[in-house]
Amino acid sequence: MDRLIFHVDVNSAYLSWEATRQVARGGLDPRTVPAAIGGARDKRTGVILAKSIPAKRFGVRTGEPVAMALRKCPELLLFPPDFGLYTRCSAAFAAICREYAPAVEQFSIDECFLDLTGTGAIYPDPVALAHTIRERIRKELGFTVNIGIAPNKLLAKMASDFEKPDRVHTLFPDEIPAKMWPLPVGELFTVGAATAEKLNRVEIATIGDLARTDLGRLQRLLGQKFGLQLHRYANGLDDSPVRAEPEEAKGYSNSVTLEEDVRTRDEARQILLLLADSVTARMRRDKKRAGCVAVTVRDADFKDHSHQRTLAAATDITAEVYATGRQLFDELWDGRPLRLLGISLTGLVGEGEEQLSLFAGGGRERQRQLDQTVDALRKKYGAAAIRPAASVHSTLTVGKKYQAQMEEEDGEARSHTAPPDPHR
């Protein structure tokens, strides 16, 4: 049976979702003027997350500092990010998609795959169905999407990136030579700027050039696994399934880009405590424990350094994760001012799966129960109801700005479910 996959992608998601709110309030539609979603203009951590088409004409780019965007377009209308709004809008459009497809995979906050294989008797015209979904989302939710139709996820995603906004495109095997092969090689999914530059240096300029390149040559250039993947993608080959349920998390992490350089060990430890508190709470919520802790720092020269340690016994206890993170930081930090601090937990096991330590005592279980009590109180009264316990670090004096910033960045991280491209 031939597969039939849709890829639904919200057009300029963050800006579109803010626009629906502004229009509902009787305000100006940000999509019609130079506008963007971004952090505060007076903070160096603020970047452009989304921009309108009129803003793009001024050269405003996603990912650039807000200050740079304002120099290009002084009249830029700037809205702060609201991840609560984005999560609600994401759930709403995904719910419409689920009315039509037996399997829907939420690939990121603003895109999902629909597997409509075997539904020909119900929906004999896939293009007409895509238009139905597109129009429902626009009329009921107030924003637009592109929909790509293809026999696999790769081609469906490529198709949805064709002309925007509010369009439906197909990309079937017989359309690949005309629609996909003439595109620059950098537009192939998973080909980042560095890989595109490497390919261009050996005169592989288009996706078609890549498709026609000898596989062995590609693997010598890019490595066995990545070379094979790109060769298959360039030829439109992909057998990955649409996963109706999200894959189980392989780890938990949280980091914060600091408004001001951190210069003292005490201040860094206080921030690490907040990070450990946040990330262990998320892990406990999912009934997981971690066997490995890692700490990452970024210095004023934008260089990242990491250090990790495997634990004697998997844990979900904030105090234990913080203690290990503090040791790692002390071994890692050379005293240079820091722009970013992060902590991550991997080597996950479920509750009851970890190997018991012969030296674990009642104190450890009491600490776990205390953490669970704190989690319950925060769930009832809000995340800010209880700060990290003073018994963990009695000299906690970190200001509210770090707490608020970490909560905001943690919300952003949890709102993005797509895995990062390691080759970008």
The residues carrying an active-site annotation are 111
Cα separation, 30 vs 12, in Å, equals 11
| 336 in Cβ contact with 379 (< 8 Å) | no
Cα separation, 344 vs 253, in Å, equals 4
Q: Do strands 35-38 and 77-79 pair parallel, antiparallel, or not at all (unpaired)? A: parallel
Q: Which helix (H) or strand (E) holds 315?
A: strand 304-315
Cα separation, 218 vs 393, in Å, equals 53
Can you tell me which residue has the tokens 């650039």?
64
Beta-bridge partner residues of 196: none
Output the CA torsion sign for 21, 24, 26, 29.
positive
Which alpha helices (H) appear in 286-396, and where do they start and end? 318-332, 362-381
End-to-end CA distance of the chain: 35
